[in-house]
Amino acid sequence: MPRKDYSAEGLTIHWDSDLCIHSGRCLQALPEVFDTAARPWIRPGATPADDLAVAVDACPSRALTYTRSDGGPDGPGARRSEDAGVRVPADAFTIHVKPAGPLAVTGPVQVLSAEGEVLAGGDRVFLCRCGGSARKPVCDGTHKRSGFQG
């Protein structure tokens, strides 16, 4: 699924469903904006741009990012077209093993297919450890439903 954009005054929220691990942090932060039972599920409406930015910054997988149109700084996971295809040094990231969860890779990182296609990237990527993700090698939250321990 391609990235979808949701515009509000001063800010555009970008959602990349392929990166989402369904942590629910967005739902907890602003339930009046993020509602998976509604369509569209993101309704930024009259919520101030600064409040939206705080909620989006809490997204652990960076499936949610934003760009500001009000002069404020873009979020830490904002994707720009010039980022595509840039390879980063192998020592520029850290891997954290999440208990009963994915590998959290932080720092500038790209996950490449055998053919060199960028599968995921940014400042944070979650990789599947349970083997059940439908989006391997990226985590889709299946470990929560499967009872994965590790």
Percent of the chain topping pLDDT 90: 47
Is residue 89's pLDDT more than 50?
no
Is residue 74's pLDDT more than 90?
no
Compute φ and ψ for 83, nearest 5 degrees.
-75, -25
Q: Mean of the pLDDT values across residues 31-35? A: 95
Q: Where are the domains of the chain?
A: 4-68, 85-146
Mean pLDDT of the chain: 85
Highest mean pLDDT among 72-81, 107-116, 140-149: 140-149
- CATH T-level fold of 4-68: Alpha-Beta Plaits (3.30.70)
Compute φ and ψ for 123, nearest 5 degrees.
-100, 0
The pLDDT of residue 87 is 44
**CA atoms of 88 and 68, how far apart (whole Å):** 26
Q: What angle do CA 117, 107, 26 make, to 5 degrees?
A: 90
Percent of the chain topping pLDDT 70: 87
